[in-house]
Structure 1
Amino acid sequence: MPQIASETLANGLPLHRIHLDGTRATTILVAFDAGARTERPEENGMAHFLEHLVFKGGEKYDDYRKVNETAERMGGSLNAYTSHDLVAFHITVRAESAPDAIDLLTDFVGRPKLDQDELDRERGVVIQEIARYDDQPSAVAEHLIDRAAFGDHPLGRSVLGPAEHLRTFTRDAIVAFRERRWTGARGGAFIVGNTDHVAANGATAALFERFPTIGEPEPYEPAPAFVPQTLVERRDSNQSHLRMSYRPDIDVDDRAQRAAMTIYSTLLGGSMGSRLFDEIREQRGLCYSVYAMDHAYADVPVLQLSAGLDSSKCGEAYARMKEIVAELHADGPTEEEVQRARAYAAGRRVLAFENTNAVARYAANQAIVHGEDLDPDRAIEALDAVTFDEVAAIAKKVDPQTLSVACVGPHDADEF
């Protein structure tokens, strides 16, 4: 049973301690509602670029070598991520090193130098990162399906942004974005795992108060109505990368419906026993990779189907994948499918939560994106509690005829 204690610091930043028995590790994670969704059009790519820049040093650890070498001397795993939802920084260490890890993370993330010379150097690094992704057809397909599903809305833009934006970002603009979005009211700090070595006398809070006090940010732009598109990037290749995006008619504020959608996507394409894997891969041999995944943004759900396959088989696979969604809509799943998918999804969650970093990421998403409780046990209980009728209802809420499609390969849009 996790022991959870939460407080709000003087700078407005919520601090959550989640003590987990039976681990010798501690993860410290700080996150903000400052992902790609919160960027203005001309800022696209800035949230991710800022993530890179803070690693160049703060006040105490004032260059990238000190940041990296200090983490290594702790035996720590230090990293960060930017999504449409969040920007987050995290370090996982042995529990005895947690106080030093908090000192390190809050220094360079809470009070970064954002040095102009380092900015100019890192600009070229991120442009190379963008070029690398553009060379990967599967990554291009992910960008295309977001655009096909959300159009010009921020959720339809790439997290990395276009290279031409990176060339124009100034230090003043980046600082302004940080001062606008990295607010305690829309963020959180999380100490997860073995917290025995983390001081409870105010010293820990003082370190997290290195983050400046910033007022409430402007709200994110609501997700647009679903206007399905088909987008194809034609490439002369033998392999195609297919993506299909549906928008189930569910309430993302309803935790039970989100859990049922996870069970539905699992039986559809989330395991080797799923309908997509069994028929598209095993029975028909149409592809090596095929899967389904669900995601809930703050105000809109997404169900995505993906396949990587021989281009000559793309049309057949696409048609049959659509039919499988239609069959579930018309006839529903079987009791056995739901039982198996529920056990698999809950079991995967249990195994993931053996990792303190996974619990910290879950807690950040729960607190900042959904405004819900952080208890990882409740996440498992929510999956265990899903009923057959709830999953059958989700199947009915996926309109099989209304979907966006994206493909990279030797195809034209009218093939879909």
Structure 2
Amino acid sequence: MYQIFELKNKAKVIFAPRKETEAVTLLVMFNVGSRDEDRAVNGVSHFIEHLFFKGTKKRPNTQIISQELDKIGASFNAFTGKDYTGYYIKVVKEKAEVAFDILSDMLFNSLFKKSEIDRERGVIVEEIKMYKDNPLFYIGDLLEETVYQGHQLGRDIGGTAKIINNIPRAEIIKYRDSFYEPKRMIIGLAGNISKPKAAQLLDRYFKKRFGKPAKHDRLDFVDQQKAARIKVHYQKTDQVQMSLGFTAIGRSSGDYLAQVILATILGGNMSSRLFINVRERQGLAYSIRAGIDEHQDISCFYINGGLAKQNVTLAYRLIIRELNKIKKEPVSNEELKKAKDFLVGKLALNIEESFDYISWLIKQYIDVGIIKDLATVKKEINQVTTSQVQQLAKDIFQQDKLNLAIIGPYKDLIYFNKMINQIKL
């Protein structure tokens, strides 16, 4: 069970006690991400995430912060997405106050010293290079750049080396103070801790007001695609990374679970259609999968495969064949039930751990303003019909909405233009 309440400073709290665990997870998420950035400061949300670990008035450098957490065996990290940013510390229950003390200190009292900012520029630039040099990582960014062409969602979360190397400290502070304010903050607390103890620690460490709220309206994505798009990134590799993508419904849509079932049937596990037909029967790929890179208002439905160069066209033909088949022929009741049972089982396992559980609750609250428990989600999954799945397939998989991203030894689009014009949805 969980409870939702509000602190005096308007920050929301989601409290999810679990007596059966020895751990406590404190996760603070902010409803701000890279999609909220202007182009000139692209990457600043991720930059700020790094800087919160670089020293406070009480703990003036990163070594002191990490030593205090390491000596109690804490697990701690942070993450930046396109919709939100999060910071967490997980500790044994006896050390819960340490987590509150350190995380609140980082969020309220970080120094953002110029020397630390300048040193961290190099770290982030190397992180950007690391992702771009790895085709398995970079193919997703390349696809979203194609699908969300011209929109903030199409930009890399990390920004560019040029921006990171030149963004002034004043701009970083301005962005932090504009978006890191209580009304955008959700404090998640899960694990073995009583409500009186939680209330005491929240009042002690998180009652502070901070930030100068920005008047900001998040720009929704409006799909204006009228023809298929192709983007090729030249890289001398032995394996070609190919990704097909289509705009699809977001997490807040009432049909979202039907879309997840569609992705599961096509390529969500080792008994899915694409895995069987592309890998097991044809031996064309080690990795072939379908999934959803999801956002609050929109998603990218993707199909990824790693292929030998000579197998690209055949694999593409098989993928298009499966997409056309699921549009034309209703999924059988047996296959639908298998997908539903898979999703229910995976969800139950995925939220066993306190961090995953509280993260799941917070994301629901940010996305739609309400939280559904596992029993409710299970019921909604089981209510999805074959006609819903088929209609979504028809809506999503359209030739003029196709986006194709390729990483491999190609220097132009000629080969792929010919391929997508010969093999159509």
What is the match of residue 206 of structure 2?
208
> Kindly tell me: are residues 198 and 281 of structure 1, through their superposed partners in 2, closer, same or farther at Cα, counting changes over 3 Å?
farther
Q: How does 1:327-366 map to 2 (within 5 A)?
A: 327-366=325-364
Cα deviation, residue 273, structure 1? 0.5
What is the match of residue 408 of structure 1?
407
Give the length in aligned residue pairs: 412
Q: How does 1:86-97 map to 2 (within 5 A)?
A: 86-97=84-95
Moved more, 232-241 or 142-151: 232-241
| Distance in 2 (alpha carbons) for counterparts of 1:111 and 1:224 | 39
What is the match of residue 178 of structure 1?
176
**5+ unaligned residues in a row in structure 1: which ranges?**
none
Q: Quick check: 1:106 aligned with 2:104?
A: yes
What is the match of residue 277 of structure 2?
279
| Distance in 2 (alpha carbons) for counterparts of 1:173 and 1:309 | 43
What is the match of residue 163 of structure 2?
165
What is the match of residue 252 of structure 2?
253
Cα deviation, residue 267, structure 1? 0.8
**Superposition RMSD on alpha carbons, in Å?**
1.9
Contact conserved, 2:330 with 2:387, CA < 8 A, in 1?
no
What is the match of residue 59 of structure 1?
57
| Distance in 2 (alpha carbons) for counterparts of 1:359 and 1:59 | 32
| Distance in 2 (alpha carbons) for counterparts of 1:296 and 1:134 | 21
Aligned partner letter, 1:31:
M
Cα deviation, residue 225, structure 1? 1.3
Aligned partner letter, 1:162:
T
Q: Quick check: 1:233 aligned with 2:233?
A: yes
Percentage of matched positions with identical amino acids: 27
Cα deviation, residue 252, structure 1? 4.5
Cα deviation, residue 301, structure 1? 2.6
Cα deviation, residue 214, structure 1? 4.0
User: Among 190, 193, 196, which residue is 2:191 paired with?
Assistant: 193
Output one character per residue of 1:137-165: Cα deviation in whole Å (capped at 9) or x when no partner. Answer: 22222221011101121100000111001
User: Among 41, 44, 65, which residue is 1:43 paired with?
Assistant: 41
Q: Any idea what SS the aligned residue of 1:301 has? A: strand
> Kindly tell me: are residues 409 and 143 of structure 1, through their superposed partners in 2, closer, same or farther at Cα, counting changes over 3 Å?
same
Which contiguous aligned blocks of 4+ residues in structure 1 show a shift greater than 6 angstroms?
A: none
Contact conserved, 1:57 with 1:112, CA < 8 A, in 2?
yes
| Distance in 1 (alpha carbons) for counterparts of 2:367 and 2:55 | 28
Cα deviation, residue 85, structure 1? 1.1
> Kindly tell me: are residues 86 and 209 of structure 1, through their superposed partners in 2, closer, same or farther at Cα, counting changes over 3 Å?
same
Normalised by the length of structure 2, the TM-score is 0.92
Output one character per residue of 1:203-248: Cα deviation in whole Å (capped at 9) or x when no partner. Answer: 4233122451543640111113142521001223221111111123
Q: Quick check: 1:293 aligned with 2:294?
A: no
Q: Any idea what SS the aligned residue of 1:318 has? A: helix
Aligned partner letter, 1:91:
I
Moved more, 93-102 or 208-217: 208-217
| Distance in 2 (alpha carbons) for counterparts of 1:107 and 1:118 | 17
Q: Any idea what SS the aligned residue of 2:285 has? A: coil
What is the match of residue 421 of structure 2?
none
> Kindly tell me: are residues 95 and 382 of structure 1, through their superposed partners in 2, closer, same or farther at Cα, counting changes over 3 Å?
farther
| Distance in 1 (alpha carbons) for counterparts of 2:196 and 2:380 | 30
What is the match of residue 391 of structure 1?
389
| Distance in 2 (alpha carbons) for counterparts of 1:291 and 1:173 | 40
Q: Quick check: 1:124 aligned with 2:127?
A: no
Q: How does 1:5-20 map to 2 (within 5 A)?
A: 5-20=3-18
Q: Any idea what SS the aligned residue of 1:246 has? A: strand
Contact conserved, 1:27 with 1:191, CA < 8 A, in 2?
yes
| Distance in 1 (alpha carbons) for counterparts of 2:295 and 2:80 | 14
| Distance in 1 (alpha carbons) for counterparts of 2:24 and 2:241 | 38
